[in-house]
Structure 1
Amino acid sequence: MLRWPGLLLVSAALLSLLLHLASIFSEQLYAWATQQPYTESELKKVTQKLSDVAQAEEARPEGLKGVKPADHQQVFLHKGPLISEKPPAPKPVVKAKKTSPVKVAASRVLAVASQASAVLAEKPIIFASAASSVAPAPLLASAPEVEEVLPPLKESPLTAEQTYPTQVEITYAYGIFPIRMSWKAENGRYALKLRGALFSKSRTFVSEGDVGQQGVIPQRFADYRDEKLINEAVFNWEEKKVTIKDGGTTKVEELKAGDQDIFSAAFQLALQGSRMKDFTFTVASGRKIYKDVPFEISGQASLRLGDKQIEAILLRGRFEDRTFDFWLAPQWHNMPVRMTLSLGSEGSFDIWANDIKINGEMVLEPQSNNHNSNSNRMMRR
């Protein structure tokens, strides 16, 4: 009799554990159940070109380069100085003709007329003195201050179309696990971050530095595990040196203009690909330097991403047994919609874009979301 209560308790505990695991893995389980297979056509001859994009700074007029637009504009209104009116001209005095019947009346009229002319003659002097005695009104002190806030300046639609996005968010799929990437560029600086997590474990890559007419110029690349720094590459462009710090070991290598880290390289090709004459540059991770990796356009393929079929150009770099594949989409500012890195002992990555948001606009939605929205519309009908 005691065995049944024990079995019930064990069954309840197992069921509780399964429900707990299901809640933890709900996102991954849903992705596994609803994911569409990512497809890639065979490589073919390149028929598209990398779009010619530029930084917003390059598109500004010469006199405004380096000037940050004001977030708010303030306009102060004030009263001007008082303007005295010109005194009216005195009316001509018409002397009354003498009348012969009454001399007394004529003399009185003459006296009144002379007094009137005297008064009129004095009036211009009174006006002039009054006007000169009026002090000009202060410009700001005596007038109430009126503040008007205008909306921030906006760039023209033409400029916006020709410039590289300042903010991009991409969710890549690594199997059934999402990896989120964010790109931000502002005031000549950029920040690039990729992060994936499972349970309490996480892996984060960070690249940051300058961005301008020469494209992406990394200053630091860092690799974190569970929010703890495990290795990094620090770029010193003044001394043309890059310092690799991996655990307790440190080594210094030479740098040359155009060198990148393993993730900034994709954005350098996106920004400068249409202008670059030579696709060869050094690629650094937090553990190793890959010297003078030659990249070349290897072809074009149709990729099935999210809810769309996308034409992407493959730029492939090789270093010994390592390969760096970046698939760039010209229709989305040469965004890297797929990245395949084979780094030997450092591991390999093959990540596909599942959703993309550019400057706040969702340009690629997940296939599952699109399918669900279509189903909801059918149900409403």
Structure 2
Amino acid sequence: MRYFAEHAWVAGRVERDVAIEVADGRFTAVTPGAAGGGTPLPGLVLPGLANAHSHAFHRALRGRTHDDRGSFWTWRERMYEVAARLDPDSYYALARAVYGEMALAGITCVGEFHYLHHNPDGTPYADPNAMGHALLAAARDAGIRITLLDTLYLTSGVDGRPLEGVQRRFGDGGPDGWFSRTSGLRDSAHARIGAALHSVRAVPADFLGGLADRQPLHLHLSEQRAENEQCLAVHGCTPTELLHRHGVLGPGTTAVHATHLTGKDVDLLSTTGTGVCLCPTTERDLADGIGPARRLADAGVPLSLGSDSHAVIDLFEEARAVELDERLATERRGHFTAGELLTAATAHASLGWDDAGEIAVGKRADLVAVTLDSVRTAGVDPSGVVFAATNADVTHVLADGRLIVDDGRHTALDVPAALREAIA
């Protein structure tokens, strides 16, 4: 296939009149300044976006947790209510709809931080990975790639309190149970099997190092001040320091949120090559706080982005929020360039897909066309689209060379109807 883009983001900048050739799901030629020819892609064409942190079932909470002031912890109780209701069939239906919504937003790969493993009473399904297999099938049927970050979740607090209530379906009894269960999961053409440590609240210190060689490895880090305070009380150090002591930090590890870090924490993430996934729309929805994004970037920490609890699914909003939150925190403008924000929004490598995230020969043929004719983008310089566009401006999406969104519609799903049915 040959495509033609009047504007395309190539090698970190906007190029004009770009001919793009695709064979077997890969880019075989990318030629700026071409004379035309091929299927036209409207507006600005970007690499596929990577949603590095998702909890698919949280989508059912959108718009349903704002009836009182509450806190992260009261929100969590609502989340547990949703978690208690799902089974493999209903989770497949919900996740397929959510991943369809991601496709419409230009997301071609998702990192699913998965801890909803067993029956509500904690007993395994006949297939102990039934819930994980439901997620893998949902991504396949929505047309996007997935990294299943199967999560070790053993305790309900830093002090080692046992799981209770619906939390029992998150646990495997111990690391051996987790290793045994996840040994039944396999990579496939559209899927990678990664791992996750839920947090220092959910994994005792003695077990933290057990997953250090599983790549990619993700974990929640210092999302709440209470987590830091509990870790200091029990271990005499911050969560970042505790993870470093146990060899968890490193180039294959991504810390999610990293909102409440000390200067030493930033240094440890930097010197170990650990990445950070920021989730600004969730962090503001839950009143978590504003993390040190610019300080992390200046220290050389690779940044990625996630929609986490799916208060919205819009990687343009996540990307510009990184800049805009810095402005609020510092009362200054101009912390991140458009190129830096798009690099974070296309960070497929954080999910183990090193061959995606660029419009370049040999890379996976993921393309996202963003209209320059909407009320949001009309008159906008293409190089500044990340500061103006929303998910509604995505018109066409290719994932591995396959058209999954055509003129703003998913080619296989009626996504709004699927969401209504799954959440009803």
TM-score over 0.5 for the alignment?
A: no
| Structure of greater Rg | 1
Q: Which protein is richer in strand relative to its size?
A: 1
Q: Which protein is richer in helix relative to its size?
A: 2
The TM-score with structure 2 as length reference comes to 0.25
The TM-score with structure 1 as length reference comes to 0.27
Instruction: Name which structure has the greater RCO, CA cutoff 8 Å, separation 6+.
Output: 2
